[in-house]
Structure 1
Amino acid sequence: MSGRVDFPGANCPSHHVPLPTAGTTARDLVSSPPMLRRLTLPVVLMFTMCIAGFEAWHTERSTVVALATADTVASPSAATPLLSARRAPVWLQRPRADAALVSALDAVMAASPPDTCLVVRDNGRVLYSRNAILPLVPASTVKLLTAFAATEQLGRTATFDTLAVAGAAPQAGVVAGNLWVVGGGDPILSTKDYVDRFGQPQPFTNVAALVDRIVAAGVTQVLGDIIGDESRYDTRRYVSTWDPSFIAGNESGPLSALAMNDGFSVYPKSKFNSSATPATDPAQLAASVIRDQLVGRGIRVTGAARSGRAPATTVEVARVTANLGDIVIEMLGQSDNFTAESLTKELGFKVGGEGSTAAGVAATRDILAKAGLPLDNVSIVDGSGLDRSNRLTCTLLAAVLERLGAASDIAKALPVAGKSGTLAERFVGSAAAGRIRAKTGSLRNSRALAGFADAGAASDQRTLTFAYIANQTNLNIDANLKVQDQLGLGLVSYPQGTTLAQLAPQ
């Protein structure tokens, strides 16, 4: 094999027409004799295309190597021909644009605590990396890992079914015995009034739909109890290592495979659950709400509402179904801790045969490892990020986001700056509004933001991937939010560099 390496642009002409020297300026070229002036732009374009061809060849070659390393079988293809003049501005812009971005992000890091990491990538190319593998408390950005693991393991079309079953099929509209409501782990099973309090549209499974289907099945009487079955998961209501203040403050409702309204029996009219009352028996609460709605629809129920396990052999009377996509949208958009912990237990149930937090966390880590994601310095303790023992790196978050891609269902489920979810009231009226989709993270002493930024003008737009985590004792929350605003504006302004117009004769 020859040691010669051929690349686009290797045979570009280097004679016949004198090229501009290092000291030549655009003004010098414009003031040159007419013949040289006419030749200036073609020569400059030819010269830059040659170099751009080499740059493109080098980039494509690097991309192939990187993709092969990641076990990706798809071959990269160039949307624009390698020697197209359209490539010249990109190559010429890159050094100045990168330098401007680095300067802006250096200012972000300078205004952040020492324990801060920041990684920014453009389609795999690292634009910025500081403290990339520093393990930090990530707060709710852990939910990105939970969403990734659930989608990878369960599949994007996975469903969560809540069933109404009986010992025998209804006869002449009569259920001769108990009617069980069997929980399938649907964390967004709710009543409409509970969801309406939050003031933003969000997916939920309306419990009234289950009642409608029981009625549609022809049931007119239940000669027994309505019994809630939560046996799919364990009955540990909270993660044992959480700060007790999170439980007292209702940062999550009590966990259950059959929970309604996040497990709260009483809740305020406002969107905040801090004053809500957790149910001592979430499955019994769900059974009670369904019993009341059945009676309200004219169904005679002779027994009470309670919790208990359904018999091994039953007949389905009705069901309602939630899909994983809607559950992920609700979890990421509202940063719902209850939903994240429920998904974690579902992962434990499906992977390890045990619907527990410990089994779910082990499953999540195993799924991430099998996906080849970087887990050095990473510690995952729960699925929501409430536990302060969680440790993630910006390298991992950026890698997960890049693996998902900006067009993925999970990316589309992220809050949008100035428009939706936990970013609805941030970046309002700024250049970043509508152009950042990201998961927020907020705990005492920890703030985080990780997601995608639509950068550049419409004619040259690209999507950057970024991850930012800041930790500090007594972290100034307001000050750090302003730093994150600065980060967002810096990202969406990229690239800022030389344009073709600046190369043309004036």
Structure 2
Amino acid sequence: MNYRRLASLALVVGAVICGLMGADVFGVQGNQVKKSAPSVVNLPTALWSIRRAPQPLIDAVGSLRLKSSLDSLLAGTNSCFIVNEGNASRAQGNPDVVLIPASTMKMFTAAAALNALGADAHFDTVAKVSGSEVSPSVPNLYLLGGGDPLLGTTTFRETLDKFAATRGAPITSLEKLADQIKSSGVKKVSEGIIVDDSRYDTTRFVTGWKDSYRSDGQIGPIGALTVNRGFAQDAVAPVDDPALFAAETLEKLLEERGVAVSGSAKRGRVPESSTSVGSVSSVPLSEIVEEMIRSSDNLAAEMITRELGLKVKNEGTTAAGVAAISDELKSLGVDVSQLSFSDGSGLGRSNRASCQSLVEVINTGERSGFSALWSGLPIAGETGTLTNQLKDTPLAGHLKAKTGSLAGVTGLTGLIDVRRPLRFSLLINGEFTEAGGVDLRSQAAQIIGAFPDAPGIDVLSPIPAGT
């Protein structure tokens, strides 16, 4: 590192010190001259020496080294990075360039949802029968979907616990709904369960997604009535119609409880005259957002996107939802002029975001009502998608960040507190595998965490000989 570039900074620092200290050194206070006898001041360190105020120089050198190291690591890629400490910028590269964000996109979806829906919002799944009274035998049981992405069974809960990223994730119990239906007095459903998922449209997968996203378990079919994330077994076999699958799953639970169900499940609408025989509510939206960020839950992100479309644009579609995300981000003060979104999860390769916009969303986490943006971040070596990453590094337990991974795309945005409390964002697009991208961003994160990786003051300004 060539430290001559910092000579001017050293002179400025020295001048400030001189201005602050000169009055006492030369016996001057304001416009009055001290009447004490003149004395000789012996300064072992020169008055203009940067040793008298070393931190600004250490920070400046550290910032130069940080940027240089990141530039070197990311050479040959399309990338951006921002590293801030409080209000101070420590390093940045191409902060406003828009790139494919992968799953860091979920930070935008999360912030928009908390802003539009509120941290305490929840999603209800309701069972009803027609008419104003509940009889032991009813022709149909109506199951109304309310957009709960966490609706599931105990068996599925056990499946989630097998994976590090989803271990401990909350669910809304479908068994509890079955218990309530039985307790309501219903003993027989003679003509089957009718499902109503009209809250959102029935487009199950977003246009432009790779077909492999379905087969490899990246995401199940999207709908307002979805159980077990739309997977039939072990979170790897997506169903065709999530609402009908929900009815079939509920039917089995009812039969286990002695409620007989005849006839096949079918689609329909809840009649205007109807009576509730059971209802289950999700955990608050803040906890759903935490789970979505921590485990990178694609289905939750897409269902929340459609809920945003319904709430903000009166249309439960992905197109309306991504438009709503942009509107809500703008209202939060995020510059969205160069951003473009095609989904809420980041699976699409047509999404575009900048490091500047990601840092602005990270900053939103300190506002009232938005704490889930920080509390949901995976912790290196400990939780979520970072459970098995950066374990044996200084970042373990000290890096909290949302990950993003696609072939040729990797990203990381969040908080680091090793030597200094830093907020950062990093997006890299290039020619590499998902595994290669994880390795690349891990190296970048370790470089950032080492700030200020600068020489000590004895190197920057040696003590003069003979002192």
What is the CA-CA distance between 1:255 and the residue it aligns to?
0.8
- Partner in structure 2 of residue 466 of structure 1: 424
What residue number does 1:136 align with? 99
Residue 286, structure 1, aligned to residue 294, structure 2: no
Alignment partner of 1:159 out of 96, 99, 122: 122
Q: Secondary structure at the match of 2:269?
A: coil
Residue 371 of structure 1, CA deviation: 1.9
TM-score computed with the length of structure 2 as normaliser: 0.83
Corresponding pairs, count? 426
Offset of residue 12 of structure 1: 4.4
Residue 354, structure 1, aligned to residue 315, structure 2: yes
Match of 2:69 in 1: 107
Give CA-to-partner distance per residue, 1:382-423, whole Å, 9 cap, x none: 101111111111111111111223981221011110001110
Deviates more, 1:390-399 or 1:220-229: 220-229
**Match for residue 224 of structure 2?**
257
Q: Name the amino acid aligned to 2:127.
A: A
Correspondence for 2:269 among 290, 309, 319: 309
Structure 2 vs 1, CA of residues 338 and 479 (structure 1 numbering), >3 Å: closer, same or farther? closer
SS in 2 for 1:148: helix
- Superposed CA deviations along residues 154-185 of structure 1, whole A, max 9, x for unmatched, are 000001000111113554x6153311110000
Alignment of 1:188-207 (within 5 A): 188-198=150-160, 199=162, 200-207=167-174
Give the 5 Å matches for 1:247-396: 247-265=214-232, 267-268=233-234, 273=235, 276-322=236-282, 323-396=284-357
Residue pair 1:419, 1:433 contacting (<8 A) in 2 also: yes
Quote the sequence identity (%).
34
TM-score, length-scaled by structure 1: 0.77
- Deviation, 1:127, is 1.2
Structure 1 position 10, deviation (Å): 11
Query: Closer, same or farther in 2 for the Cα pair 1:213/1:98, shift >3 Å?
Result: farther
CA contact (8 A) 1:149 1:368 kept: yes
Shift of 1:136: 0.7
The one-letter code sitting in structure 1 at the alignment partner of 2:250 is I
Is the aligned partner of 1:227 residue 2:197? no
Superposition pairs of residues 394-409 of structure 1, within 5 angstroms? 394-405=355-366, 408-409=371-372
Letter of the 1:485 partner, please give it.
S
CA distance in 2, matches of 1:480, 1:176: 56
Q: Is the 8 A contact 2:414 2:424 kept in 1?
A: yes
Q: Give SS of 1:197's match.
A: helix
User: Which residue type is aligned with residue 345 of structure 2?
Assistant: S
For residues 307-328 of structure 1, what are the alpha-carbon distances to aligned partners after superposition, in whole Å with 9 as ceiling and x for unaligned?
3221123211211111212221
Q: 1:415 aligns with which of 372, 378, 383?
A: 378
Report how far residue 372 of structure 1 moved: 2.1
Measure, in 2, the Cα distance between the counterparts of 1:102 and 1:209: 58
The answer to whether the aligner puts 1:14 opposite 2:22 as a matched pair is: yes
Deviations 1:349-404 (A, max 9, x none): 11111110001011111111222211232111110111111111111111111122
Q: Give the drift of 1:479.
A: 4.4
Structure 1, 474-483 or 316-325: larger mean CA deviation: 474-483
SS at match of 2:123: strand
> In 2, Cα distance between the equivalents of 1:306 and 1:386?
31
Q: Name the amino acid aligned to 2:90.
A: L
Secondary structure of the corresponding residue to residue 362 of structure 1: helix
1:487 to 444, 447, 457: 444
Amino acid at match of 1:147: A
Alignment-derived partner of residue 440 in structure 1: 403
Q: Secondary structure, in 3 states, of the residue corresponding to 1:414?
A: coil
The structural deviation recorded for 1:100 is 1.9
Matched residue, 2:89 = 126
Q: Distance in 1 between matches of 2:103 and 2:263?
A: 43
Aligned residue in 1 for 2:176: 209
- The question of whether the paired residues in 2 share the 8 Å contact of 1:169 and 1:175 is answered with no
